[in-house]
Amino acid sequence: MSSVALASPTTVVVRVDGQEFSVSRGTRVKAFLRRHFPDLEPQCLGAILGNRLADLETPIAASCDLVPVTYASKAGARIYRATLTVMLCEAVARLFPGARVQVGQALGDGYYFDVFKEPMLSLEDVAAIEAEMRRMVERKEALATMRVPVQQAIEVFQAAGATSKVGMARAMRHPWVTLVTMGRHVDLWFHPLLPTAEGIRAFHVVPYAHGLVLGFPPPGRPDEPPRPPRNHRGLFAVYRETREWNRLLGVETIADLNRVVVEGRIGEVIRVAEALHERKIVAVADEVARRRGCRLVLVAGPSSSGKTTFVKRLRMQLMAIGIRPKELSVDNYYVNRKDTPRDEDGEYDFECIEAIDLPLLNEQLDALLKGRTVKTPRYSFQKGTRSPKTVPMQLGPQEILLIEGIHGLNDRLTEAVPREQKFRLYVSALTQLCMDDHNRIFTSDARLLRRIVRDRLYRGYCGAETLRRWPKVRAGEERHIYAFQDQADMMFNSALVYEPAVLKVFAERYLMEVQDSDPVFVEATRLLEFLDLFVPIFADDVPATSILREFIGGSSFEY
């Protein structure tokens, strides 16, 4: 068989915001930006080429649209944060050979890390790590990437004692993998990075708990110093508790989860994970009972946290200890559509607290807690108006109210109720499963995957539509939920260590439906690459009362 050479022009056309540029094939993104956008180039961390995220060293191989990526975007922030993480691990490897770095949770604008070494990490050690990273920036040190056979990568990690990376390399199931290094520390490459440390502007490394926090500039402001990490005691405790649960289950990384699936032990892991959830819900119910004056339980949390199922399971546990709960839906207290405030884009802002009829809600809460009968409203989201029909409701002496909604932790929602009569709960999916020791799973991805599946199955929205809506959902959470999370009396982590592998069975197809011409294709591709790391788990072993059933169907509860 004879080979055929493909004819190839020496130039390609690059389109940027309506402008066209003819460049030599193979021109690297950074060189293109430096020539045609010299003022913008220093701010660029990467680019979207043909609707795919690329780093600055990527050669432009074909005519395409190019969108510069800066720190103002989520994609740019990920590039910046991933680069700093590699630099942190390299600094520790240089200063403390043999020390183990383990990534933890996001805390505000930073990531928490444990550093295991002898002697224990000190304040001086943390300062030395930051100083070494700043020298990397001054020296414009390179982040070298190399594509190697997977077996070679495994040998490198085995020699370094990096067992979590050995498992991750095997989980990737590709003959070749990409590694990144700055000299001593070698890591797996999962997404674009900066080619050198020169592009890093602001960061800090500060002590926190028994480890340190790597702080990043505020969103969209790469030259601004990071804000000091807030003392999220309750949130941090929940993270550590979940880490301990994962350790007890023997599932701390994706490789661990894949192993128990392949070995046929996933049924037991699912049952234990669900039992841990139930124990926590029982603890919440016991705490409500302990607070003798409590008449109102408020459950708040971001989108797709499983708040609805949590409330139903909490109701069962309260009834089991002799407390009779009644549920009141804040959704029925929305103002009429025409009176709803609008956001900066002129669209209805259903997530702001002013979209709720606060005077009516508080008037009726006050009456209910005094034993009076009230006529609770009913709201039609289809019509955007309150129904003329009402439903009478009364609260007996031994009964309490359960209210679920995003504003539950904001005192303005229930200002008519004395503080001692309220118990506030924060529910979110705070995943602590990691890719490996140094690469974390974005906490919000768990909720996004849940929402993609639920929207496609039950709300008539395709995956692309959910991805388009997600940035506004997240912005609303920043304004209306996260600012109040520290006011919660208790926190419940609704994440299940096995859930990404179950959601994969559904979400993979819904993400594949996203067209490559759609701007959200970049995000769909990122999520598909993430899901590709998991061995799938079918839903058969997921209990009917699981929070996960709220999203995949088959729940024993009615919604």
**Tens digit of each residue's pLDDT (9 = 90 or more) over 82-105:** 999 999 999 999 999 999 999 988
- In angstroms, the CA 341 to CA 375 distance is 25
pLDDT at residue 450, rounded to an integer = 97
Q: What percent of the chain has pLDDT over 90?
A: 81
Q: Report phi then psi at 391, rounded to 5.
A: -125, 120
Q: CA Rg, the chain, in Å?
A: 26
Structure tokens at 280: 């926590």
- In angstroms, the CA 177 to CA 171 distance is 11
Q: What percent of the chain has pLDDT over 70?
A: 99
- Helices (DSSP H) in 29-122: which residue ranges? 29-36, 74-95
Q: In the structure, what pLDDT confidence band is assigned to residue 120 with cuts at 50, 70 and 90?
A: very high
**Amino acid found at 457:** L
**Per this entry, what is the length of the chain?**
559
| Strand positions, DSSP E, 93-230 | 100-107, 110-116, 144-149, 176-181, 186-188, 204-208, 211-215
Q: Examine the pLDDT at 1 and tell me if it is beyond 50.
A: no
User: Residue 270, Cβ neighbours under 10 Å: how many?
Assistant: 24
Looking at per-residue pLDDT, the higher value among 172 and 12 belongs to 12
Cβ neighbors of 229 (< 8 A, separation 6 or more) are 107, 108, 110, 206, 208, 213, 215
- Helices (DSSP H) in 421-555: which residue ranges? 443-454, 463-480, 499-512, 521-531, 549-552
CB of 452 closer than 8 Å to CB of 473? no
Q: Examine the pLDDT at 14 and tell me if it is beyond 50.
A: yes
Which of these, 427, 423, 206, lies nearest to 311 by C-alpha position?
427
- Per-residue pLDDT averaged across 484-510, rounded? 95
CB of 73 closer than 8 Å to CB of 81? no
pLDDT at residue 381, rounded to an integer = 78
Which of these, 141, 140, 145, lies nearest to 181 by C-alpha position?
145
**Stated pTM of the model:** 0.90
Domains of the chain: 11-70 (3.10.20.30), 75-143+182-231 (3.30.980.10), 234-552 (3.40.50.300)
Q: Examine the pLDDT at 525 and tell me if it is beyond 80.
A: yes
- In angstroms, the CA 90 to CA 83 distance is 11
- Per-residue pLDDT averaged across 142-159, rounded? 95
**Amino acid found at 235:** L
Structure tokens at 378: 């009913």
List, in sequence order, every residue forming a beta bridge with 428; answer none if it has no partner: 493
**Amino acid found at 489:** D
User: Residue 416, Cβ neighbours under 10 Å: how many?
Assistant: 15
Ramachandran region of residue 108, left (φ > 0), alpha (ψ -120 to 50) or beta? left
**Amino acid found at 515:** Q
Q: Tens digits of per-residue pLDDT, 220-252?
A: 999 999 998 877 778 888 988 998 899 989 999
Range scoring the smallest mean pLDDT among 355-369, 378-392, 461-475: 378-392
Structure tokens at 57: 């060293």
Q: In the structure, what pLDDT confidence band is assigned to residue 50 with cuts at 50, 70 and 90?
A: confident
Give exposure, 541-557, as e/b (b: 16+ Cβ within 10 Å). bbbebbbbbbbbeebee
User: For tokens 């180039």, what's the residue?
Assistant: 41
- Per-residue pLDDT averaged across 53-82, rounded? 96
Q: In the structure, what pLDDT confidence band is assigned to residue 494 with cuts at 50, 70 and 90?
A: very high
- Per-residue pLDDT averaged across 154-170, rounded? 91
User: For tokens 């692309």, what's the residue?
Assistant: 464
- In angstroms, the CA 116 to CA 462 distance is 45
Range scoring the smallest mean pLDDT among 302-306, 348-352, 467-471: 348-352
What DSSP state is assigned to residue 459?
I
Structure tokens at 138: 């001054």
Q: Tens digits of per-residue pLDDT, 295-349?
A: 999 999 999 999 999 999 999 999 999 999 999 989 899 999 999 999 888 888 8
Structure tokens at 423: 């118990």
